[in-house]
Amino acid sequence: TLNATATQSVSSVVVSGSAAVAIGGAAGIGVAGSGVWAENKIGVDVGSYIDGDGEGGIAADSITLIAKDGSSIKSLAAAASLAASAGGAAGVSVSIGVSLARNTITTDVEASINNADGSSTDVTDDGINARTGGITIRATENASIKAVSAAASLAGGFAGVAGVSISGA
């Protein structure tokens, strides 16, 4: 019996925030920006195998080869930005929030019998022989990614003559 199991895991939380407030007699100008980049990667090879059968073949009561992957990524990326301005004649505010996330799992899972000459129910013959049980070969991939990426932006410009605000997320 050969069992190979991979259970790599990544948990990440990335948060960014920004705020700007400007007050001016003639003009108030407020600029705020916030950005987040989260990248998580898992790459693994999982194998449970027999390679070759040697001079006398392979003989056992039973043969079980199991390979499985349960790798996981949990990711949270968040950015927030706030800008406010006030001025007698002009109030100008610019706010930008950016959140980007990339999560990747690249796993190869293999369970196999390779380079065996053949199979036989007679113990004396060359090949593969499971005398009393069976031959079980199983490869399972159960990787998962749970990700949240969010951005928020707010801008406010207040003035007696011209109030300008630009916001983007």
Report how far apart the first and last C-alpha atoms of the chain are (Å, whole number): 54
Q: Give the chain's mean pLDDT.
A: 89
Helix (H) or strand (E) holding 143: none
CA–centroid distance for 153 within its chain? 26
Q: CA 77: distance to chain centroid?
A: 12
Q: Is the pLDDT of residue 126 over 70?
A: no
Whether the CB-CB separation of 127 and 54 falls below 8 Å is answered with: no
Q: Determine the pLDDT at residue 58.
A: 81
Model confidence pLDDT, tens digit, residues 148-161: 999 999 999 999 88
**Number of neighbouring beta carbons within 10 Å of residue 31:** 17
User: Is there a contact between 116 and 127 (Cβ–Cβ < 8 Å)?
Assistant: yes
What pLDDT score does 46 carry?
A: 96
Name the region of 52 (left: φ>0; alpha: ψ -120 to 50; beta: rest): left
Per-residue pLDDT of 90-106, as tens digits, reads 999 999 999 999 999 99
Above 70 in pLDDT, residue 111?
yes
The pTM of the full predicted model, rounded to 2 decimals, is 0.76
Percent of the chain exceeding pLDDT 90 equals: 65
SS3 category, 153 = strand
Q: What's the pLDDT score for residue 52?
A: 83
